[in-house]
Every structure is written in structure tokens, then in C-alpha cells.
Amino acid sequence: MSVDFNEYGKRMGKALDHLAEEFGAVRAGRANAKVLDRITVEYYGSETPLNGVATISTPDARTLVIQPWDGSLLKEIQKAIQASDLGINPQNDGKVIRLVFPQLTEERRKDLTKQVKKYAEDAKVAMRNIRRDGMDYIKKLKKNNEITEDDQKQAEKDLQDMLDKYIKQVDAALAAKEKELMSI
């Protein structure tokens, strides 16, 4: 009998997807609309994602232009951006909000590199926890005599191989993000 690891593979895949989202929110000196994904504004009494109330465009490599569909939201959007952890002061001209991303300093690049390393390590920890859950499941099957000792050893090896594959993907994503952050 072989042990089904689809659930654990899906959970590790979700951890990898979450890491990609975290990396997308880290700005690298280039304007990227993904940095605004976490920002919400009050719109008709409910918190609404910024991209749900405005058009976001990138006219050049270092500028984002936010054009709300309802002009009365300009001040709300400006407040939300200032309250966020972006560290960019929005420029409001009465029609649109411009965010100009400054060139990153060497020190800021190093700080961002530390931040993405932490995100990658968090993803690895999450994946190891998923592996631990899988190992507990395998031990439970063995204890209940649903699998043989050989099946248990093979299942544990398969689970470890799956984890190794996902860890390699995390390391590759981290290396790519570090390269992006350190390139000028």
C-alpha cells in the first residue's frame, strides 16, 4: 500500500505561493503595482482593496499612477498609502495620485535582502511543519497496522524528497529576489 501525500504537496505549494506574494510586495527600486495589494481604503462603509476602487498604471519604471474611479476617494487613498509601510509619500494633483519610487540605497537594499531571507526561512519552517504532520500520519498508519515497516520507510523517504523539492524552489526564488534587489 502506498501513502497518499497530495494534501501535503498542496499545502507546501500554498506555502510557496504565499512566499511569492510576500516577495511581490517587497519593492526593488522599480515601480510594481503588487506593492499596493495590501492597501485598503474605506469605500461606502467597507474596507476595499485599492485595486478595487482605482486604476493603477506604471507610466515609467519608477512611477505608479493611481486614478480612482470616484474622485472623492483621492484623500482616502492618500491617507491609506501614508499609513502603510511603503515609505513613499504620495503626490496628489487633484485627479490622480503619483507614487515615485526613489532609487534604493545600498543600506536599504541590504535591509530588504534580510527581509526576503526571513520570508524564505518562514516558508521553509512552514514546509517542515507540514512534513512533520505527514510523518505523524505515517506513524499513525504504521501503529494501526495499515502499512508495513517497509511501506513506512518508503513513505517517509518520499515525503522527505517532496520537502527537498519544495525547499529547492524556495532557495531559487530567494536567489532570484536577492539578485533583483542587489541589481542597480
Q: Which CATH class is domain 33-100?
A: alpha beta
- Name the superfamily (CATH) of residues 6-24+105-182: Ribosome-recycling factor (1.10.132.20)
Residue 34 is classified by DSSP as: G
What proportion of the chain, given as a percentage, has pLDDT over 70?
A: 94
pLDDT tens track for 121-170:
999 999 999 999 999 999 998 899 888 889 889 999 999 999 999 999 99
Find, among 26, 176, 53, 184, the residue nearest to 111 by Cα.
26
Q: Is pLDDT at 1 greater than 60 in this prediction?
A: no
Rounded to whole angstroms, how far apart are CA atoms 26 and 146?
A: 47
pLDDT bucket at 5, cuts 50 / 70 / 90: confident
The per-residue pLDDT for 30 is 66
**Domain definitions of the chain by residue range:** 6-24+105-182, 33-100
Q: Do domains 6-24+105-182 and 33-100 have the same CATH topology?
A: no
